A and B are shown apart, each in its own frame.
Chain A
Amino acid sequence: MKLNELTVHELIDKLNKKEINSDEILSALDKRIKEADSKVRAYVRVSQSNVLNPTPNTQHPTPILKGIPISIKDNICTQGFNTECCSKILQGFKPPYDATVIARLKEAGASVLSVKTNMDEFAFGSSTENSYFGPTHNPYDLQRVPGGSSGGSAAAVAADEAVWALGSDTGGSIRQPASFCGVVGLKPTYGRVSRYGLIAFASSLDQIGPLTKDVEDAALLMNIIAGYDPCDSTSVNAEVPDYTRSLGKDIQGIKIAIPKEYFVEGIDKEVKEIVWEAVEKLKELGAQHSEVSLRHSEYAVPVYYLIATAEASSNLARFDGVQYGFRAKNLRPKTKNQLIDMYTQTRGDSFGQEAKRRIILGTFALSHGYYDAYYLRALKVRTLIKQDFDGIFNNFDCIATPTSPTSAFKIGEKTKDPLKMYLSDIYTISVNLAGIPAISLPCGFTKKGLPVGLQIMAKPFNEEMIFRVAHAYEQSTPWHTMRPKL
């Protein structure tokens, strides 16, 4: 096997045995990117960057990662390397600082690639079709989307153009592309991983997380990036366990809740069958499952689209052409005020359609006269959604659901109706609203050969349960060994 096709834990093993060195891994990756990325387009600004010129890992004396490269989504700040959220408004932006997760990776000996993975602009999307640089193509079927917004990271890992990657998840943006691309994607508990350096979409929902080829790599990556950060007031000061210790354990007697609302109308028949098979597999492995109800599930999407857009409208106000990024020149004289024209034209000319839609919706939800009926009401229903989960976790160890109601859809299929696109997040969104951790891992393929994802959720700070159940399932199935035929 080529080095770029191995998992990180396999690479660590070979590096420790001095069978290979990190330059060889980079070489293999570079070759693969040159051969596949013109079709997949997982990376952006490739011609502007030198893939083989990543950050040298000089920090830690005995770095665990020994130079293993990691691919980073374009909304995570990497010092000196362009970080643009795949948006025109941030073109050319080079952060003067590293995100905390990047600093930790460097300390652990990672080589951070200077070229970033594609995403929906500002993470607004579920298909990576909203990128300023054009869409990423699903490695399993290039006519289809890889999911979003971390579509680039998921596709890169699936296509062996990355050995592992970081993404971000606000309403499913790690898990849904993981499920569409047949890889593992974890959204940690809110506050588990520092958000410092993650360009914010929705501050109370965002988390950075791993996209990997298998569960063990996800556990390894979490060991490095998780933990308290004094630069992030929402980061929780709780000990980080060694997540790899949760691997290889049996799941005898583990109680799994199956929420009925996730298996009713809207779900693709094939997806439903495949996920049910996965649930039965878990039972075979010794777990027990029962049907439960998450009563307020149907309200998750509207609640999300009020809270997330409200926070986004405020977070994106800073993109105004004053300090960085694109600034409109040759202003059209709309008002008598050049400054206002600069603001409105800089933003009007460079935000994509979805970004404008969300910012305006969010601004509306917060505006005078509508705040109570929309934003405040959404905050209250969020409490109810959280309470639903709290209730379940009193009696169950974890929850299992499909990650997405469908497998990867065709490029352009859902772009005409924003609402249709929003509804593809229906199974992932509640997780962010409740602040709980959840993973998506491959659990089968449709007849068309498209991956399907199984989602496992646990209560806050219980990623260990997720890794335990996910690993047990993974190791008794072949899905994690499958690769697309590119």
Chain B
Amino acid sequence: MAIDKGTVKYVAHLARIELDAKELEKLSGQLQGILDFIDRLKKVDIKNIPPTSHISPIKNVLREDKPRQSLPVGKALENAPDKQGSFFGVPKVIE
């Protein structure tokens, strides 16, 4: 199936990745090639075949409602690019 630059730009925005014009051009070409290759899957007869979203037969994995030690605030924020007291700082969110 054909994938145009507009679609790639839109999908890149969904994925929050900024692409410059050169990247957009190159990526669109490459993705087209990959999708063309992937299109061979259309040949497979998948009628009545269930999808596999979990490869192993595990089910009902649960844990008890027992509290566990949380991280100290300092550790939680240790890697933060912008620490604001006990908070993570981010650019102003416009709602």
Contact = CB atoms under 8 A, between A and B. Distances in A.
Nearest to A309: B34
A377 B46 CA distance: 8
A348 interface: yes
Interface string A311-334: 001000100111111110001001
Nearest to B3: A364
A293 interface: no
Nearest to A364: B11
Interface string A384-413: 101000000000000000000000000000
A157 interface: no
Contacts of A338: 91-92
16 contacts: A230-B63, A234-B58, A302-B38, A317-B16, A324-B81, A325-B79, A331-B91, A347-B16, A357-B30, A359-B17, A381-B41, A382-B55, A383-B49, A386-B52, A418-B33, A434-B55
Contacts of B40: 298-299, 302
B41 A303 contact: yes
Given A298-B40, A363-B15, A364-B3, A191 B58 contact: yes
Contact of A344 (B3, B13, B27, B49): B13
Interface string B44-83: 1010011111111010010100000001000110111110
Nearest to B82: A327
B19 to A, nearest CB: 6
A347 B55 contact: no
Interface of B: 1, 3, 7-8, 11-19, 23, 27, 30-31, 33-34, 37-38, 40-42, 44, 46, 49-56, 58, 61, 63, 71, 75-76, 78-82, 88, 90-94
A96 B75 CA distance: 6
Contacts, number: 163
Contacts of B78: 94, 96
Given A324-B80, A342-B91, A356-B23, 16 more contacts: A190-B55, A236-B56, A313-B15, A326-B81, A339-B90, A342-B90, A348-B17, A356-B12, A357-B27, A361-B31, A379-B51, A380-B51, A380-B52, A382-B51, A418-B33, A419-B34
Nearest to B39: A302
Contacts of A360: 8, 11-12, 15, 17, 27, 31
A479 interface: no
A340 B16 contact: yes
Is the contact region of chain A dominated by helix, strand, or loop, or is it mixed? helix
Which 8 residue pairs are nearest across A and B when measured between Cβ atoms? Answer: A348-B18, A379-B51, A324-B79, A435-B55, A344-B18, A338-B91, A327-B81, A343-B16
A374 interface: yes
A377 B41 contact: yes
A93 interface: yes
Interface of A: 92-94, 96, 189-191, 204, 230, 233-234, 236-237, 296, 298-299, 301-303, 305-306, 313, 317, 320-327, 331, 334, 337-345, 347-349, 351, 356-357, 359-361, 363-364, 367, 373-374, 376-384, 386, 417-419, 422, 433-435, 460
A356 B27 contact: yes
A356 B94 contact: no
Nearest to A433: B55
Nearest to B62: A233
A234 B44 contact: no
Contacts of A306: 38, 41
Contacts of B75: 96
